[in-house]
Amino acid sequence: MNKNTRLFLDNMVRHLFLAFIGVFFILPLLWMISTSLKANRQIFVFPPQWIPNPVIWRNYPDVFDYAPFLLYFKNTMVIEIACIIGVFLSCSLVAYGFARLDAPGKNFLFILMLSTMMLPYQVWMIPLYVLFTKIGWVNTFYPLTIPAFFGNALYIFLLRQFFMTIPKELEDAARIDGCSYFRIYWQIILPLTKPALATVVIFTFMGVWNDFLGPLLYLQDPEKYTLAIGLQVFLTQHGADWGLLMAASTMVVLPIIVIFFFTQKQFIQGIVLTGLKG
Amino acid sequence: MKHSKLKRQEIFAFYTFISPWLIGFILFTGGPIVASLYFSLTNYTVLSKPEFIGFGNYLSLFKDPLFWTSLYNTAYYAVFFIPLGILMAFGLSILLNQRVKGLAVYRTVYYLPSIVPAVANAILWIWLLNPQWGLINTILKLVGIEGPGWLTSEKWAKPGLILMSLWGVGSWIIIYLAGLQGVPEQLYEAAEVDGATKLQRFLYITIPLMTPTIFFTLITGLIGAFQVFTQAYIMTNGGPVNSTLFYALYLFRNAFNYLKMGYASSMAWILFLIVLILTLIQFKLAQKWVFYE
């Protein structure tokens, strides 16, 4: 066997293996979509119908008849917008302070902030719940949105790492010209770090979309449900109707997948950066 | 110490810029942490005023069989999921790192499951693990194996949830891939010139240089295991027969179903101590095996 044939075979084997594993990763998602397009008599059969025949679209409109998913979507988006604005402003401001300004106590505060990332959230969850109950915030969006305006350690850290890579000469020149720190932050740093900011915005969006514990603790009124909690309640009401449940799940998953495809670069970068922090 | 006017300006600016986090830390993290430590020493139930009982909660916890069950379940999950997850992520990232065509496609496919929102994921996996009609047992049946009852079985519920977590191991694959891409090419070339075999290059270059990544996933995996909540809450609600009653779920139940806020707070602090001790042990051991340039 000559070298080229061996190389070709090597490659083939590798691709076959990668594809074989890939099937296991992608199959559950395809199964979800496939189930959502079936009627019950097509779901409960063996051998399975991999591709629905005929394709039944009815589950999708039915989801909206059984539960107010548009309202859940609206609620989720209200929280999304508030959190994204809050995280964007607070995290970038704080990150700028830690990246560029110097003051006594800075190192201590920075280490304090990093150490909160290692703490399990359960340590502050209960008193926070008591606090929000006492000030009457239960059953409002405030517990899910207001904290976003006070920074998030992970995103502050991520942005700080980015801000540090910007050459300092730019700012020094601006300082000599009498530019305030705020203007430097707003007009030099932010425009130069758009990719990092985009990563933070995407991760925040995903975080809110996924959050289950927050709405579970704080939202009681069904009118206020988010998609995550609405979907869970939907499960408890339509436990065996898999076509319906998969249609609802598909609709919750799809926006995330679409966003992922459009912003893959930021996504991957964000994971690598937060992953390498250790 | 006297500061110049410019320096004072900078100090003022620093504290202004970080004030959102500082205020947030006091209100939403630091303050509650102190309060939680206090609650853990009381019999607080929301309905009544907290009454100081010293280490009473901690002593009752050690006598609470469900506390030990939840610890056992969490340890079981960690002991199987973390090594398997690391092996999978490392193995797949090595295959992906060999300049195969279509890398972006494979990477996307492996990563996609990990972005599925938690609740949708939980519902999807209840369906996949359905004993009679689910995808997993259907495939097993097609190759002639009678699949287990998964979430309905005391013995198979935990493995089912571990399988589900392994499906979402995509972000680790990306982290390992980035780690592999950070290994300098010259090292391999130099080793090849010196006549090192493929296996030797892997054992003496790749593995040592990947130890920081392995260490990172070990630590985050461990912390993650103690936070397993959403799956267990939605899919099994701790059952059958408490076989998926994980630590975070039992803590949640004590706090918000039984309103034993003091008791739950002491669980939170034990959790904190466990995580802290395990992390410190890891760091200590890491000096022996993690390689830093």
Per CB-CB distance under 8 Å, the chain B contacts of A29 are 112-113, 116
So what's the pLDDT on residue A43? 86
**Mean pLDDT, residues B273-279:** 87
Per CB-CB distance under 8 Å, the chain A contacts of B180 are none
Confidence of residue A2 (pLDDT cuts 50, 70, 90): confident
Q: Please give the Cα distance from A193 to A190 (Å, whole number).
A: 5
Are residues A80 and A35 part of one domain?
Answer: no
Cβ atoms within 10 Å of B142's Cβ, excluding its own? 11
Confidence of residue A1 (pLDDT cuts 50, 70, 90): low
Rounded to 5°, the CA angle B144-B145-B149 comes to 145
CB contact under 8 A, A278 and B115: no
Q: Please give the Cα distance from B202 to B208 (Å, whole number).
A: 9
Render pLDDT for A183-197 as a digit per residue (tens, 0 to 9): 999 998 999 888 889
Q: Please give the Cα distance from A212 to A231 (Å, whole number).
A: 10
Please report, as a single letter, which amino acid is at residue A104: P
CB contact under 8 A, A109 and B39: no
Q: Which residue(s) pair with B52 in the sheet?
A: B42
Q: Select from B174, B226, B256 the Cβ nearest to the Cβ of A272.
A: B174
- Closest residue on chain A to B30 (Cα): A124
B56-289, what's its fold? Answer: MetI-like fold (1.10.3720)
User: What is the extent of the structural domain holding A81?
Assistant: 61-275
CB contact under 8 A, A14 and B106: no
Q: Please give the Cα distance from B181 to B107 (Å, whole number).
A: 14
Best B11, B18, B126, B228 member to test A by mutation, with max A CBs in 10 Å, is: B18
Across chain B, mean pLDDT equals: 90
- Closest residue on chain B to A249 (Cα): B120
Render pLDDT for B21-67 as a digit per residue (tens, 0 to 9): 999 999 999 999 999 999 999 988 877 788 898 898 999 999 999 99
CB contact under 8 A, B13 and A213: no
Q: State the maximum Cα–Cα separation within chain B, in Å, rounded to a whole number.
A: 81
Per CB-CB distance under 8 Å, the chain B contacts of A257 are 112, 115
So what's the pLDDT on residue A195? 87
Please report, as a single letter, which amino acid is at residue A266: Q
Per CB-CB distance under 8 Å, the chain A contacts of B248 are 122
Q: Select from A89, A249, A271 the Cβ nearest to the Cβ of B171.
A: A271
Are residues A87 and A171 part of one domain?
Answer: yes
pLDDT above 80 (res A277):
no
Are residues A249 and A149 part of one domain?
Answer: yes
Q: Which residue(s) pair with B42 in the sheet?
A: B52
Establish whether the linkage from the previous residue to B65 is cis, with ω within 30° of 0: no
Render pLDDT for A19-60 as a digit per residue (tens, 0 to 9): 888 999 999 999 999 999 998 888 888 788 888 888 889 999
Strand, coil or helix: B42: strand
pLDDT above 80 (res A135):
yes
Distance of alpha carbon B127 from its chain centroid, rounded?
Answer: 24
CB contact under 8 A, A256 and B117: yes
With a CB cutoff of 8 Å and minimum separation 6, the contacts of B267 are A122, B61, B67, B247, B250, B251, B254
CB contact under 8 A, A123 and B272: yes
Q: Chain B: nearest CA to A186, how far in angstroms? A: 12
Domain ranges of chain B: 1-39, 56-289
Angle between helices A153-164 and A264-275 (to 10 degrees): 100
CB contact under 8 A, A46 and B175: no
CATH number at A178 reads 1.10.3720.10
Are residues A37 and A101 part of one domain?
Answer: no
CB contact under 8 A, B14 and A103: yes
Domain boundary among the residues A25, A41, A56 is at A56
So what's the pLDDT on residue B35? 93
Are residues A207 and A176 part of one domain?
Answer: yes
Kindly report the three-state secondary structure assignment for every residue of B116-132: CCHHHHHHHHHHHCCCC
Are residues A139 and A94 part of one domain?
Answer: yes
Confidence of residue B198 (pLDDT cuts 50, 70, 90): confident
Are residues A120 and A20 part of one domain?
Answer: no
How many domains in chain A? Answer: 2
Per CB-CB distance under 8 Å, the chain A contacts of B127 are 31-32, 35, 242, 245-246
CB contact under 8 A, A94 and B17: yes
CB contact under 8 A, B220 and A278: yes
So what's the pLDDT on residue A82? 97
Q: Please give the Cα distance from A21 to B95 (Å, whole number).
A: 11
ipTM, interface predicted TM-score of the complex: 0.90
pLDDT above 60 (res B204):
yes
- Percentage of chain A with pLDDT > 70? 98
Do the beta carbons of residue A37 and residue A18 sit within 8 Å? no
Render pLDDT for B243-265 as a digit per residue (tens, 0 to 9): 999 999 999 999 999 999 999 99
Do the beta carbons of residue B43 and residue B56 sit within 8 Å? yes
Q: Please give the Cα distance from B184 to B161 (Å, whole number).
A: 38
Q: Select from A101, A212, A227 the Cβ nearest to the Cβ of B17.
A: A101
Render pLDDT for A201-246 as a digit per residue (tens, 0 to 9): 999 999 999 999 999 999 999 999 999 999 999 999 988 899 999 9
Q: Chain B: nearest CA to A162, how far in angstroms? A: 17
Dig out the tokens for A61 from the structure. 């409109």
Rounded to 5°, the CA angle B266-A115-B293 comes to 135
Q: Chain A: nearest CA to B130, how far in angstroms? A: 10
Are residues A193 and A124 part of one domain?
Answer: yes
So what's the pLDDT on residue A161? 87
Are residues A271 and A193 part of one domain?
Answer: yes
CB contact under 8 A, A210 and B118: yes
- Closest residue on chain A to B19 (Cα): A94
Number of A/B CB contacts below 8 angstroms equals 250
Are residues A13 and A123 part of one domain?
Answer: no
Q: Select from B20, B119, B215 the Cβ nearest to the Cβ of A94.
A: B20
CB contact under 8 A, B21 and A124: no
pLDDT above 60 (res B194):
yes
Are residues A51 and A68 part of one domain?
Answer: no
Are residues A148 and A71 part of one domain?
Answer: yes
Q: Please give the Cα distance from A232 to A245 (Å, whole number).
A: 10
Do the beta carbons of residue A214 and residue A144 sit within 8 Å? yes
